[in-house]
Each structure stands twice: as structure tokens, then as C-alpha cells.
Structure 1
């Protein structure tokens, strides 16, 4: 199956994937030394993605805006992008939708592998998973 993604589609996928890591970092470690580790480990996991998703995430084009003054502001942007990404990929190639979902969840797991996730990290992971599964 051939997948056709517009530049906007690709931007949505990048925003969703990198945004999930940013959201986890902001929620779980705001103001703590672990925030950088969460972001770094999660981003490394995203960079190891394969398939169409890997190619899209590897493109370092500009335009992914993940700044927000609060976790809520970041979530308002990222959670809908996760759902939109899954909807888009499910319509064109269900296997790539599965790849995208697995890639994002691996990034979250990798980001929190240094110890027991806090209740805050666990809750944010649940919210991200719910957004992925809403499509």
C-alpha cells in the first residue's frame, strides 16, 4: 500500500511524536534534573524508528512548535496531534499506524526507564495512550 503524506501530515506526525516526549518531560519532571534525561532518552528512541514513520521523524525540518507556558498548553496541542496522526495513518496504511503507536509508546517507556515512574508520569502516559487509541 502506498502512503501519501503532505508536508502538513508529516508535521502533524512529528509534532505528535516529539510532543508526546515533551509532554511527558514537562509533566513528570518540571523543575527537576530528570526532565532533560526524559527528553533525551525519548528523542533517541524516536530517532531509532523505522519504516515510513522513521523517515518522517528523521526529517529535522523546522516547524514543530512544542513550547507552552504550562503542561496543559502543551497537551492542548499534542494530544489532538496524536489522535490525528493515528487517524491519518489508519486510513492509508494500518501497519504504519501500528508502527507509529509502537514508536511513541517505546519512546515513553525509554524515557522513563531509569526508575519507577511517578504517578504523574504514569497518568500522562495514560493520557497519551488514550489519545493514540482515540482514532
Structure 2
């Protein structure tokens, strides 16, 4: 098991998997809801800085996104978003804020990458993602 320690934040492989699955799962949920800016959203995730940036930009095969329907998929992603915030909040509130803002920038990139207003379905999914990020508070 490898452990990453950067700036007093120590994350296990499982912690890193939760963070990656949560962030990339949020982007995938938006795609399932009809958002078209997934490439921009992925760029937002890999452009993160700090501990979060190191974790999200690492080459890994540990991103777990199970489910055949949006509902099944959401049942996995939303708890991971909340768990990722809890993991980071325990060790570094600044990195928790960094993760939250990184995911929300990715959401904005996915939602607003095309001309015209996003659909109500996409807006609703974006709100649910934000709610899952804030559920730890």
C-alpha cells in the first residue's frame, strides 16, 4: 500500500481512490444528464493544484464508477463526494476547500461549455453534486 504525504496531508490508496472516483464520477454524472462539456470538465480536474491536484492528475486505474442507470451510478458517486470531503476536512480544511472548488469548477465547465442555457436536468444534477459536496458540513 502506498501512502502520499504532501503538506501534512496523508492519504492512503483507498483515500485517493475515493477522491478520484468522486471527482470523475461527478463529471460522468453530468454527462449522463446531458452536459456536453466533459472534456473541459476533465481538464479542470487535471488542472487542480495542491494535494488534490496531485491525486486527480495521477495515472490510475482505481476509479470505480459502477451502475447501469443514472440512479445506480448516483448512489455511488454522491456518497463518494461526501466521503472525499470528510477525508480531506479531517486532515486539511484548505484541501477540502480545494477539492470542493475544483469539482465545482469542473461542474461549471461541463454545464456552461456550450452556447445557450443548460437543460433543467443538467442544472438539477449540478445542484445535487454541490449538495453532496456540502453534506459533510
Give the unaligned 5+ runs of structure 2: 1-6
Cα distance in structure 2, aligned partners of 1:91 and 1:66: 25
SS at match of 2:63: coil
SS at match of 1:4: strand
Structure number with the higher strand fraction is 2
Task: Report Cα offsets for 1:109-135 as digits up to 9, x if no partner.
Answer: 011221311100110011101100001
Task: Report Cα offsets for 1:9-29 as digits up to 9, x if no partner.
Answer: 000000000000000111125
Q: 1:9 aligns with which of 4, 15, 38?
A: 15
Q: Residue in 1 aligned with 2:72?
A: 73
- Does structure 1 retain, via aligned residues, the 8 Å contact 2:66–2:76? no
Across the aligned residues of Structure 1 and Structure 2, the Cα RMSD in angstroms comes to 1.2
Q: What TM-score does the superposition give when structure 1 sets the normalisation length? A: 0.90
| Stretch moving more, 64-73 or 101-110 | 64-73
Q: Residue in 2 aligned with 1:26?
A: 32
Q: Residue in 2 aligned with 1:127?
A: 128
Give the unaligned 5+ runs of structure 1: none
Cα distance in structure 2, aligned partners of 1:42 and 1:68: 21
| Stretch moving more, 67-76 or 82-91 | 67-76
Which one has more relative contact order, counting CA pairs under 8 Å at least 6 apart?
1
1:100 to partner: Cα distance = 0.2
Following TM superposition, the consecutive aligned residue runs of length 4 or more in structure 1 with deviations greater than 3 angstroms are none
SS at match of 1:5: strand
Structure number with the higher helix fraction is 1
1:69 to partner: Cα distance = 1.1
- Does structure 1 retain, via aligned residues, the 8 Å contact 2:27–2:42? yes
